[in-house]
Structure 1
């Protein structure tokens, strides 16, 4: 019997580096497919739709992926908002296509800021002072403040770009209100991902970043597998009180059986 019967797997730094494939990661996914072990790609990125993510994996990295094998912070945010106990959630959105698509697909109303009872914020590369002002006023009137993720930076071929967390920090400063964070390492995205996998009894969280992927597993009671192909480095992780369950230099060192 395999040690784990479901895998939650990060993407950038774990399965690929931007546009660059990680060959050992492709072989790892192929071993999961052969063993018929369910897995779900779980990403903090809210800008891409599940189809965008699946197409990128399939076309650009040779990893055949369906939309049902993808769970983004945008999808987790939509699930969370839909599950709020108040009726008639009306959302003022600061974010891009992936987040807009997820909210609309969940049947959530997107409205101007002066009609909103929820402000949802993700990465928005067209962020403006006007959006900041409108969101600030909405939260001051009592709207809930929900952020897809608090990632301060995200890797790119140009270098470390400002992430959603840098924009969230501006709105948090302007309002004095702590947002509900959806993405790794927080609980909402993990709860949503496990539900999507039908609550497996032996899941593992896999990723390259101790502070998001591995802490997500630790904080939510999952075993963890840290792969040293991305953000975190062995010397840094060795200093942490809470260690990953397992770690590998690359996925060729890992057996799924």
Structure 2
């Protein structure tokens, strides 16, 4: 639980796969330091890919958005859940098959590019319903989808993110819209294509022949769980949806390999920490100036040092079945406050 190694984190991997919302930008604003970090990766000749569950933009549009922010990106580096979902539909349906699309224009464009015919009403006899995030999606679209699915149409979702990060805090995502139909239909979609399914990550690695990729994300339930399913190491950055409290409560299937405040942790040894892989209960825990000890509901964090080292120790305690921890000194309480944890 000390620094990850003597080399920078980035030096141990041959491909960096970035989530976008909450990692590189929030909606359309770059996260502080992200442009500089990715520009440095480009300057070093690193292989990069972007894998996003957001189905409201096509890959070319995402690449253009990144380029407009100062991040040079190629269309082939961007993998979207919309494009992946259209590919799945094309594999299952004959060319020219009507598909009811609930989502943004980008999803309709991907369905069209896959040789299928987007429609908007259940009366058009669609053989499938594809549902992705779109800010304009409302009751009318959801009602048509409900009728079509009840009539026997295949129901496929681009992703199931409950929320989207934004400068104003988390906003409803496609998972929230899926919940409306889940309630109305009393069933789940037939297939969810995007993260945490590992398809986007495997595709990114295959395209460039990478053997040791690192997934960088801000969500435990999509980015990190998807990396675990794909058998890839992962870095959680605390710039988006998942918080330190979420990390302490993470199930084994959603635990990252590393955690950092932001993308600067790719280069700064002091800005990233490796998390314990399989902690067990211990009466006392130590790491780099920090200690957790005590019992009977009075476990305390004491000492001083790096906040990330303290967070890694707190993860070992929580994941090892330990009791809640409180600060046993001002330095410890300050760390707990910094991460929004009870102190």
TM-score in terms of structure 1 length: 0.87
Q: Unpaired runs of 5+ in structure 1?
A: none
* Aligned 8 A contact 1:46 1:74 in 2: yes
Map of 2:278 onto structure 1: none
Deviation at 1:155, TM superposition (A): 2.6
Map of 1:247 onto structure 2: 259
The one of 174, 177, 192 equivalent to 2:184 is: 174
* Aligned 8 A contact 1:123 1:163 in 2: yes
Question: Secondary structure of 1:93's partner?
Answer: strand
Question: Secondary structure of 2:137's partner?
Answer: coil
1:209 equivalenced with 2:219 (yes/no): yes
Map of 1:31 onto structure 2: 40
Deviations, residues 89-132 of structure 1 (Å, cap 9, x unaligned): 43111111111111212222223434211100112333343322
Question: Secondary structure of 1:83's partner?
Answer: helix
Map of 1:140 onto structure 2: 150
CA–CA separation in structure 2 for the residues paired with 1:128 and 1:54: 28
Please give the root-mean-square deviation of Cα atoms over the aligned residues, in Å. Answer: 2.3
TM-score in terms of structure 2 length: 0.67
CA–CA separation in structure 2 for the residues paired with 1:171 and 1:235: 30
Map of 2:76 onto structure 1: 68
CA–CA separation in structure 1 for the residues paired with 2:210 and 2:116: 29
- Give the 3 Å change call, closer, same or farther, for CA 166–232 of structure 1 in structure 2: closer
* Aligned 8 A contact 1:49 1:97 in 2: no
Question: Structure 1 segments of 4 or more deviating over 4 A?
Answer: none
Q: Unpaired runs of 5+ in structure 2?
A: 1-9, 269-343
- Give the 3 Å change call, closer, same or farther, for CA 30–152 of structure 1 in structure 2: same
Higher relative contact order structure (alpha carbons within 8 Å, sequence separation ≥ 6):
1
Aligned residue pair count: 253
1:187 equivalenced with 2:194 (yes/no): no
Question: Secondary structure of 2:170's partner?
Answer: strand
Deviation larger for 217-226 or 18-27 = 18-27
